[in-house]
Chains A and B, each alone.
Chain A
Amino acid sequence: MPWFSRSKDKMPAEKKEDIWVRCSACNAHVYKEEWFANLSVCPKCGYHGRLTCDQRLELLLDPGSFTELNASICPNDPLNFVDGKGRYAEKISATIEETGLRESVKTGYGKINAMPVAVAVMDFRFFGGSLGSGTGEKILRAANYAYDFDLPYIIVSASGGARMQEGMYSLMQMAKTCAGIARLNEKKLPYISVLTDPTAGGVSASYAMMGDVNMSEPGALIAFAGRRVIEQTIKQKLPKNFQTAEYLLEHGFLDLIVLRHEMKDRIHQILTYYRAGRTFRN
């Protein structure tokens, strides 16, 4: 369920001032240069700030190894959706203009420590990373690319959930993307899911939870239903760490929580086991 798609707080992690970044977790002021050198992790409290898809790709893949696929796909307002604040079609143009992105995910292939992989990296700035038709299409096509070329598939999720403005087409992306993952399973191709802050609703209830290995970063919000909805339903206070990566690890839904600067090597390490399994009888 898409319970937060407010367009105003797209990147609340770092309040951008001139040379300072204020950590939204501990309020510490950090030199911008230091903040980004530390991969948008607060050097004071360890808070993992949100990344754009390009920052994430840079972090995960060998320099210059990324080739983007299906870059032209973008939303087309299939429902002619109009809400209290205006037309979806207009918001699409504005968001494309503002972010330089055409959908809430970038997909393609590249290398992790020289190992070829297919990747999909979501970007929360584009309609809260929500699951539009184009998002689902790109994630499926990248899965099919992995299928066709026998590649491991890595998806980095960052999403508030379904994209309401695309109605049932959005819900159907859950079935569509999972169908892609199911075919990878059939061919015994590895799929690693990285659930970053936040991963919620229809994205957590589809491909994001289906990794052979599910990993996350410290403090990331991972949820199905929104906190407010649950509080209203059960009329009781929820635990403080409710729906954090740590909470999900404790309850058995994540394999590991990885620090950002270790993420690439950790994924590579895991994939070496896949590679070993492919060759050990030969």
Chain B
Amino acid sequence: MDLEFEKTIIDIESKIAELQKLSAENKLDLSVQIRELKKRAQAYKERVYDGLTAWQRLQVARHPQRPVLQDFISMMFSGFVELHGDRGIADDRALIGGFATLGDYRVVLVGHNKGKTAEENAERNFGMAKPEGYRKALRLFKLAEKWNLPIITFIDTAGAYPGLEAEERGQAEAIAHNLTEMARIQVPIVTLVSGEGGSGGAIGIGVGDVVLMLTNAVYSVISPEGCASILWRDAEHAPEAAEALKITAKSLLEMGVIDEIVTEPAGGAHRDPTQTAEEVRKALQKHLAVLCAKSVPVLLEERFRKYSGMGRFDS
């Protein structure tokens, strides 16, 4: 998928590729020209990406080539042991988890499992979990607590799946239960919104001691399309709704909803997944080090205070 605002970037990139091919085939030294073009591409990418609107960032967050959980697992973690099932109904492929190692840290990793291909997304339901997914997540959180391992969660979902069976099996109850339990889990929780943070389906694994967001990730109480169709009575107004809802990492940092932005390379995570993963790894390790040094009572008191302080009102 090509994004409208990326056209020029893609043009420059293909020109660079052409020159590289030309230089290789004809044994020409075009390194000066290539370097010059790369510099231009970089400056252009930075300019374009600095100025993205909320709606444009949402397109980046949903980009089919954006790194998904499985990419992060293979790029950053070692020794991943996936643990399956909620011990009740099923193993939800839309939300997965297990043991994983990040540098010196052994952790329990839980995250939405978006796919990149049609087959993957069919199997993983586009990362939209059902109650059994949230219940599996909770089972893993409790396991982490029992074994005294810190928890890392990756958020990347359009939302909890809105289906008949999901309602029947208690989507609301499953999310509510996670929120309540996560408030008091006695191990550190670090959350990263890596792509789309879709409402209840996102926060259902998102009650972190520290909540991080990638530069082009979004986090919203409702999809801008959904909001527009209710408040504007027309989904066409989604770009305005995206702006009004303040869904970007930058806005949410200013609002105090998230704690830190993990910087994506210019041009977005889909241009350079390796560099993105490296930044994520550094941020996660830094916060794990701080959180793991805290006593359990301090950790829980600070978590309670953090969430108690959410919101703005008059009194």
Contacts and interface: CB of A to CB of B under 8 A. Distances in A.
What bracket does the count of chain B residues touching chain A fall in? 35 or more
B105 interface: no
B315 interface: yes
A162 B162 contact: no
Interface of B: 159-164, 166-173, 175-177, 179-184, 199-200, 203-204, 206-207, 219-222, 226-227, 230-234, 237, 241, 244-247, 252, 255, 257, 303-304, 307-308, 310-315
Interface of A: 1-6, 70, 72-76, 78-79, 81-85, 103, 132-134, 136-137, 140, 162-176, 178-183, 185-186, 201-202, 204-210, 222-226, 229-230, 233-234, 236, 238, 242-243, 251-253
**Most-contacted residue by chain A among B161, B162, B206 (CB, 10 A):** B162
Nearest to A132: B313
A209 B168 CA distance: 14
Given A81-B244, A82-B244, A85-B231, A134 B222 contact: no
A223 B257 CA distance: 26
A176 B169 contact: no
B313 A252 contact: no
B310 A78 contact: no
Nearest to A199: B172
Q: Which 7 A-B pairs have the closest CB atoms?
A: A133-B311, A225-B162, A84-B232, A78-B312, A172-B310, A178-B179, A134-B313
Given A84-B234, A85-B231, A168-B220, A182 B241 contact: no
B177 A164 contact: no
A176 B230 contact: no
A176 B200 contact: no
Given A136-B310, A223-B167, A207 B176 contact: yes
Given A76-B314, A164-B245, A1 B222 contact: yes
Contacts of A208: 172, 176
A146 to B, nearest CB: 15
Contacts of B231: 5, 83-85, 164-165
B207 A175 contact: yes
29 contacts: A1-B226, A132-B313, A133-B310, A140-B308, A162-B199, A164-B230, A164-B231, A167-B247, A168-B221, A171-B200, A172-B257, A174-B179, A175-B203, A176-B310, A179-B179, A179-B184, A179-B207, A179-B303, A179-B308, A182-B181, A204-B172, A205-B179, A205-B204, A210-B176, A222-B172, A236-B164, A238-B164, A251-B168, A251-B169
B179 A83 contact: no
Contact of A168 (B204, B241, B244, B247): B247
B226 A253 contact: no
Contacts of B257: 168-169, 172
A216 B164 CA distance: 21
A255 to B, nearest CB: 12
A136 B244 contact: no
Contacts of B310: 133, 136, 169, 172-173, 175-176
A208 B172 CA distance: 9
Contact of B255 (A103, A136, A169): A169
Contacts of A5: 230-231
A133 B307 CA distance: 12
B167 A230 contact: yes
Contacts of A73: 313-315
Contacts of A238: 164
A122 B310 CA distance: 20
Contact of A1 (B159, B181, B206, B247): B159
A81 B167 CA distance: 31
A175 B211 CA distance: 13
A252 B167 CA distance: 12
Given A175-B207, A202-B200, A253-B170, 14 more contacts: A2-B222, A73-B314, A84-B237, A133-B311, A134-B315, A168-B257, A170-B221, A175-B203, A182-B180, A185-B184, A205-B173, A225-B160, A225-B166, A225-B171
Contact of A137 (B255, B303, B313): B313
A137 B177 CA distance: 20
A230 B311 contact: no
A173 B311 contact: yes
A209 B176 contact: yes
Contacts of B171: 205, 224-225
Contact of A175 (B222, B241, B307): B307
